[in-house]
Each structure stands twice: as C-alpha cells, then as structure tokens.
Amino acid sequence: MAKATKKQALGRGLSALLKDPENDIHSVSDKNADKVVGNIVELDVDSIEVNPFQPRSNFNDEALNELATSIRELGVIQPITVRKLDFNKYQLVSGERRHRASKLIGLKTIPSYIRIANDQESLEMALVENIQRQDLDPIEIALSYQRLIDEIQLTQEKLSDRVGKKRSTIANYMRLLKLDPIIQTGMRDGFVSMGHGRALVNIDSKEDQIALYERIVGQGLSVRDTEHAVKARRKGHGASGNPSLLNKVPEFAKNGMAEISEHLDTSVAINASEKGKGKISIPFKSEEEFLRIKKAITGA
C-alpha cells in the first residue's frame, strides 16, 4: 500500500512539473525529460485529444458504461498511453475506451504513460498496440494492417515480424476488405463472423455476395453451411440442383429493404420466391436492441 501511495504521489508531482511553462518538455534531451517520458503521470482528462490514427471506430455503449462503472469503483487500473504535442497538450496513442469512460463519469485526471513521437511513429504505435487487443473486430484489424502497409511502407513479411502474426493470418484478414461494404458493416456489427466473411470473399460478384449474406443473416446459416453454399455456386449449381444457389430478391423488395433498414437503424434480410412471397428477418444482439427495434416498429 505504501508503494502505491508513493507512486501516486510521484505521478501528481510530475503532473505539476508538466504544468510549469518554464520546464516544458519537447524532446527526450530536454531537462527533466527522463523524469517524465516513460513514467506514469496524472494528466488532466481535458488536456488529452483523441488519436486520428486510432483504428477503432465502433464503441459499444453498453460495454463503455460497464467500463465506466468499473473505473468508478476501482479507478483506472491500466494507464493510457499518450504522446506530448505541446505545452499541457497530449494525444492518445492507446486507451481511448478508458479515456472515454473516465470522461463519462466526470474524472478530472487519468494515469498516463507519456511518449514523445512524431506522427508516423504515433501512427505505428497506435496501430500495432491496438492490433494486439482482443476486442477489435476483424474489419478494424484488416484496416489497421492495410494502413501499416500503405502509410508505414511495410511489406507483409515485415508486418508479420512487427505484430507477431503469421503472414497467412495477415493475408486472411486483408482479404476481408474485398467484401462488399454492406457485408463489412455486418461483420463489424456482429451479424456474421470472420469465418462467414472468409467464405464470402471467394465470390467475385458483389451482388452475389450480398444475396448470400442476406441468406446467412435471415436463415442463420453456419460457417460450414456458407462454405458449402459458396462451393456449390462455384460448381454452377445450388445445393438442391437449382440453377442458382442464391436467393433472388424481387426488385420491389430490394428497393424497400434499404428504407426498412434505415428506419429500424439495423441490418435486415429478405428472402423471397420468384412469385413474390417471402419474409423479412430482423436480427438483434441483445434485449436492449430488441426493445429498441420493437419501439421503432410499434411506437411503444
């Protein structure tokens, strides 16, 4: 307990040091830089801006509220990482969920590791650190890999060494970016898995990808079912010998599906016969989302 108190007091002391304009630190060679860089410092929450290089773009409100509750009870157990931009101004490298949750419950300061890095180094640190996280969705990971290759000029071989992943694993993630954006969104929202995506990417036609995606969501097809469906289509026949595996949605239903999806603020799937008979499937991931959709439909 004494060590924890001493460490916390040290963090507060360094925080005061950083607020002194006479001792502002811009590089690792500046006076007192060794006392700050690489240490945990209590920084004002409002002095930290979000990282434009952050690969995560989806933040689940329920999970964020759970984290906020945990922080309220236990404090921020794992410090965030920031880089120094200017006097009393910092930018997140990693830990945006902790930063958001801390602001949510009104914390004034947050424990932070301070780094000094340029834009390219910050981009690489943010992407590499976030790729190691377990809660990024497959598309976020694929986009992070793509950015490291495009903006840091890494080959897949060098990227493999940098992030500690097999080259084949990296290639499998990046192939997901060939999927239609609607399917990528469905994967990010949890309606289909990476296994479904890896099967669908073997279909060249985006229209056929979407048609099978709608069947997956609407009929609850497993990854194995999807793989069989893709193989059957590539052989030129459906699972039951029909000339086409994929569900042919009438034009009137296609036109209305986007409006329904927009109104309910969620993905929907339509299955229909050539005669026009069919059904609309509306998936949900939780009781809260079900109640939200119900209210959008019934108004109560």
For 248-259, write each residue's pLDDT tens digit: 566 677 667 767
- Sequence-distant (6+) residues with CB within 8 A of 22 are none
Most confident residue range from 19-33, 153-167, 260-274: 153-167
Q: What is the mean pLDDT of the chain?
A: 77
Does position 11 have pLDDT exceeding 50, yes or no?
Answer: no
- Sequence-distant (6+) residues with CB within 8 A of 23 are 17, 31, 32
User: Cα-flanking dihedrals φ and ψ of residue 202, to 5°?
Assistant: -80, -5
> CB–CB of 140/134 below 8 Å?
no
Helix/strand/coil for 161? helix
Residue ranges of E strands in 166-277: 269-272
CA dist., res. 116 & res. 33, Å (int):
10
User: Cα-flanking dihedrals φ and ψ of residue 245, to 5°?
Assistant: -75, -35
CA dist., res. 176 & res. 198, Å (int):
7
| Amino acid at the residue 200 | L
CA dist., res. 281 & res. 293, Å (int):
12
Active-site option among 66, 73, 96, 157: 96
Q: Which residue has the higher pLDDT, 187 or 263?
A: 187
Instruction: Indicate the pairing of strand 40-44 with strand 109-115.
Output: antiparallel
CA within 13 Å, CB half, 84:
23
pLDDT bucket at 36, cuts 50 / 70 / 90: low
- Angle, CA of 120, 161 and 152, to the nearest 5°: 20
- Average pLDDT on 64-69 reads 89
Active-site residue 96, yes or no? yes
Chain Cα centroid distance, residue 104: 20
Does position 3 have pLDDT exceeding 60, yes or no?
Answer: no
pLDDT bucket at 109, cuts 50 / 70 / 90: very high
Q: Which residue has the higher pLDDT, 144 or 25?
A: 144
Nearest to 193 by CA among 166, 226, 171, 164: 226
Does position 282 have pLDDT exceeding 50, yes or no?
Answer: yes
- Average pLDDT on 94-105 reads 90
Does position 5 have pLDDT exceeding 60, yes or no?
Answer: no
Does position 2 have pLDDT exceeding 50, yes or no?
Answer: no
